Structure 1
């Protein structure tokens, strides 16, 4: 069996083997949790795992993303107690000290989790020094996966491609792996040109894993879908992020939105799934995706998502289409499949996709300072949407964002 073939898991095999995950996933709740939390988090089943590309490593289908705020220490422990064994952080999140405290209080935890962190180099060689800084911040000798954070945001397209395909990156990645300080190397991206970046990176074959902004209703012939196919063929692990946002999948949906989604998608009621859980099942139905990084901000979200993982069944195409249509009907604020076509159709230099993404950070993800920081870093031309044909932009957008409603909010909240 080839290396690429060996990492693949068809859906039937995956569902059969999910119950055979390692005993570590069944580890009991952390004693640092309050008694009520320990009882609530007691695992009543295994969180299924998937292989992260050619790394051969099994990761839980849920990856606890970072959140800002005083509750994060409790969230980390509750997620672990609930069976999650993959944890994501980054320098810019400011959450590495929380993980460090956790490891200091319970050193065995570090041995049981798959740890991911990120930094933002201008050149590949900077990764070596940055990795040492991240290890110091985390209080550990090694991590499992080190990402270039937000590839494309601070680089031209050519520079971003060269960053992950050139000789300097190859030599740096090899040096990192040999050092034992990080087992694997990759990048994250939500850039409008991520399809091209991911395609080129997959062809180069240097990275081990990629985290990308993703929605499960990609057009079959879209450049991003073709890029993900190439990643699958090359054995590059894929992690979904930025998949839940807006009024439909936000924390506080308005009116009876969720009831209407269930009405539009009868499969949800049949399987006793919430719309949030249905979206996760839709993402996991793409066998190319190894895990979903969710910034779960309270214990209820963790319980709901863990329950979804334990009860996962692939979603049929017709139900996936219904879920897509229900999402679009309720005014999302972020297009998971943004590729910049909105700005082209609107005949504007404004970065409409970035503007609405930053609004989502502010309104739905709680990252207000980061939203304002990234907004301020955009050139003035990328912030000025006054000349845009917003109706044309909406018609071309894969998720039909209502730019006429959202962009004034961007100016009001972020400028």
Structure 2
């Protein structure tokens, strides 16, 4: 008999920990055979991301996992995840390639998949305008949903970067990226001890769509 009992958040999180470890040990053919049977009718619960939306699933999958085994992407989708995160530097670009290949394998899913990538404009925000073309080329897709400055901090980007989130300089770059149709939303990730300063600058600037932090 088919189990119709709703999956609790606790049960889901348990499976989210156990299943990735299990799928890594399985042959790709086994995982591929199962993925259509596990296809959910709906995504996980959604929440508004950042200051302007959009609605994204409450859990996402990071690109380092997909770089090691592309089958993680199918597993994540089948578990209801719709937010997929990658970056230029994850496994020397292999993560982006896997995400892009997966998107192109299932074009019908693209409208529901939220694809995020990142890059390191160490010479200044303007570099993002050419970096996005390299990111899209590496993935083989024509746009991403979110484009982040990766790991912003004075050590990598200089002291001037502390003011980027409130500067016309970065705002103009983000506006141009969005106007190009190659990016829907823009922001930055930050794991630096100066995080609070970047957050205050972003609040003052008012144009950062989302921030990834820890």
Same fold (TM over 0.5): yes
- Secondary structure at 2:81 match in 1: coil
* Separation in 2, partners of 1:70, 1:51: 27
Cα offset, 1:34, TM superposition: 2.5
Q: Aligned to 1:131, what secondary structure does the other structure show?
A: helix
Identify if the C-alpha distance between structure 1 residues 46 and 85 changes in structure 2 by more than 3 Å, giving closer, same or farther: closer
Q: Deviations over 1:223-255 (max 9, x none)?
A: xxxxxxxxxxxxxxxxxxxxxxxxxxxxxxxxx
What is the DSSP-based 3-state SS (H/G/I as helix, E as strand, rest coil) of the residue aligned with 1:154? Answer: helix
Q: Aligned equivalents of 1:177 and 1:69: distance in 2?
A: 27
CA shift digits 1:326-373 (9 cap, x unpaired): xxxxxxxxxxxxxxxxxxxxxxxxxxxxxxxxxxxxxxxxxxxxxxxx
Q: Which structure has the greater CA radius of gyration?
A: 1
Provide the residue aligned with 2:182 in structure 1: 181
- Give the number of aligned pairs: 181
Aligned match of 2:53 in 48, 51, 56? 56
Alignment partner, residue 206 of structure 1: 207
Determine the structure 2 residue equivalent to 1:355.
none
CA change 1:46–1:183 in 2 (3 A) is closer
Tell me the CA shift for residue 154 of structure 1: 0.2
Q: 1:52 to 1:68 in 2, by over 3 A?
A: closer
Could you tell me which runs of 5 or more consecutive residues in structure 1 were left unpaired when the two chains were aligned: 1-31, 214-415
1:97 is matched with: 97
Using the alignment, how far apart are the partners of 1:43 and 1:62 within structure 2?
15
**Normalised by the size of structure 2, how large is the TM-score?**
0.77
CA distance in 2, matches of 1:44, 1:107: 17
**Distance of 2:67 and 2:162 partners within structure 1:** 38
- The 3-state SS of whatever aligns with 2:51 is helix
Greater fraction strand: 2
How far apart are residue 163 of structure 1 and its match?
2.4
- Partner of 1:120 in structure 2? 120
| Contact preservation (8 Å) 1:53, 1:209 | yes
Question: Is residue 117–residue 147 contact of structure 1 (8 Å, CA) maintained in 2?
Answer: yes
Listed as ranges, the matches of 1:331-410 within 5 Å are: none
1:84 correspondence with 2:81 = yes
Map of 1:111 onto structure 2 = 111
Give the equivalent residue in structure 1 for 2:152: 151
Q: Is the 8 A contact 1:161 1:201 kept in 2?
A: no
**TM-score by structure 1 length?**
0.41
- The alignment yields a C-alpha RMSD, in angstroms, of 2.2
Q: Equivalent residues in 2 for 1:266-305 (5 A)?
A: none
